[in-house]
A and B are shown apart, each in its own frame.
Chain A
Amino acid sequence: MLRFVATFLACLTLALPISAQQADAPIQQLLQSQSDLIIESSRRTIGPAIDALANSGMPEAQVVLDKWQTREMWVNKETGLFVYAEEVDRDTLRIFDFADGSEIAEVPDDGFDQLKPNSGIRGLIGTALVQFQLSDPNPDTRQRALDAIERGAEESHLAALRASLPKEPDALILARKQRLERLLTIAYGATDAERIEAIQSFGGDLGVDVRAALNPLLAVRVEAAEALPADADIGRVLEPGSAALSRDDAYALLVAANLAKPRISVEEQRNALIANIADGQVAGIQVATLNSQEARDMAYAALAEQGTVTAVATEAEVDQRLSNHVFFERYVGAPPEVVFAAQAALNAIENKVAINQMFDLSLDALSLASIYFLAAIGLAITFGVMGVINMAHGEFIMMGAYTGYVVQLFIPDYTLSILVAIPLAFAVTFGAGVAMERLVIRWLYHRPLETLLATFGISIALQQIAKNIFGTQARPLTAPGWLDGSLVINDIVSISYIRIAIFVLALLFLALFLFVMNRTRLGLEVRAVTQNPRMAASMGINPDKIKMLTFGFGSGIAGIAGVAIGLYAKVTSEMGSDYIVQSFMTVVVGGVGNIWGTLLGATMVGFLQKGIEWFNPSNTLAAQTYMILFIILFIQFRPKGIIALKGRAAEA
Chain B
Amino acid sequence: MSDVAIGQRRQPFALRFPSVMIFLAILALFTVGVTILSEGFGIGVISTSFIKTLGKTLCLCLVALAMDLVWGYCGILSLGHMAFFGLGGYAIGMWLMYARTEIIVLESLAAAELPPTPEEVSNGIATQIFGVVGSSEFPPIWAFAHSLPLQFAAVVIVPGLLALVFGWLAFRSRVTGVYLSILTQAMTLALSLHLFQNDSGLRGNNGLSGLQNLPGLDDVPQATVSLWFFWASALALGLGYVLCAWIVSGKFGSVIRAIRDDEARVRFLGYPVEAFKLVIFTLTAVIAGIAGALYYPQAGIINPAEIAPIASIYLAVWVAIGGRGRLYGAVIGAAFVSLVSTWFTGGQAPDINLGFYTISWVDWWTVLLGLSFVCVTLYAPKGIGGLIDLITDRKSPNRHGASLGPDQGSLREQEAEK
Contacts and interface: CB of A to CB of B under 8 A. Distances in A.
Given A581-B189, A628-B190, A636-B169, A457 B377 contact: yes
Interface string B158-192: 00000000100110111101110111011101100
B197 A619 contact: yes
B370 A588 contact: no
Contact of B370 (A444, A458, A631): A458
Interface stretch (A88-96, A464-472, A497-505, A524-532): A464-472
Contact of B317 (A288, A289, A457, A619): A457
Interface bracket on B: 35 or more
Contacts of A588: 179, 182
Contacts, number: 147
Interface in A254-309: 266, 270, 273-274, 277, 287-293, 296
Contacts of B240: none
Interface in B128-184: 166, 169-170, 172-175, 177-179, 181-183
B385 to A, nearest CB: 16
A293 B316 CA distance: 54
Interface string A73-84: 000000000000
Contacts of B367: 460-461, 464-465, 468
Interface in B364-388: 364, 366-367, 369-374, 377-378, 381
A429 B251 CA distance: 49
B114 interface: yes
Interface stretch (B93-101, B116-124, B222-230, B241-249): B116-124
Contact of A450 (B366, B369, B377): B377
B370 A622 contact: no
Contacts of A165: none
Nearest to B364: A468
A279 B17 CA distance: 76
Interface bracket on A: 35 or more
A372 interface: no
| Interface of chain A: mostly helix, strand, loop or mixed | helix
A481 B75 CA distance: 53
A125 interface: no
B115 A291 contact: yes
B190 A635 contact: no
A527 to B, nearest CB: 22
Nearest to A631: B186
B374 A454 contact: yes
Nearest to A628: B190
Given A467-B363, A636-B173, A452 B181 contact: yes
B287 interface: no
A266 to B, nearest CB: 8
B323 interface: no
A468 B378 CA distance: 26
B115 A457 contact: no
A517 to B, nearest CB: 23
A456 B169 CA distance: 26
A449 B366 CA distance: 21
Interface string A448-490: 1110111011111111110110000000000000000000000
B232 interface: no
A375 interface: no
Given A293-B117, A624-B193, A448 B178 contact: yes
Contact of B196 (A288, A457, A460, A621): A621
Nearest to B370: A461
A625 B188 CA distance: 10
Contacts of A274: 113-114
B194 interface: yes
11 contacts: A296-B114, A449-B181, A453-B373, A456-B313, A584-B182, A621-B193, A621-B196, A629-B190, A633-B169, A635-B179, A637-B173
Interface of B: 77, 113-120, 166, 169-170, 172-175, 177-179, 181-183, 185-187, 189-190, 193-194, 196-197, 309-310, 313, 316-317, 320, 363-364, 366-367, 369-374, 377-378, 381
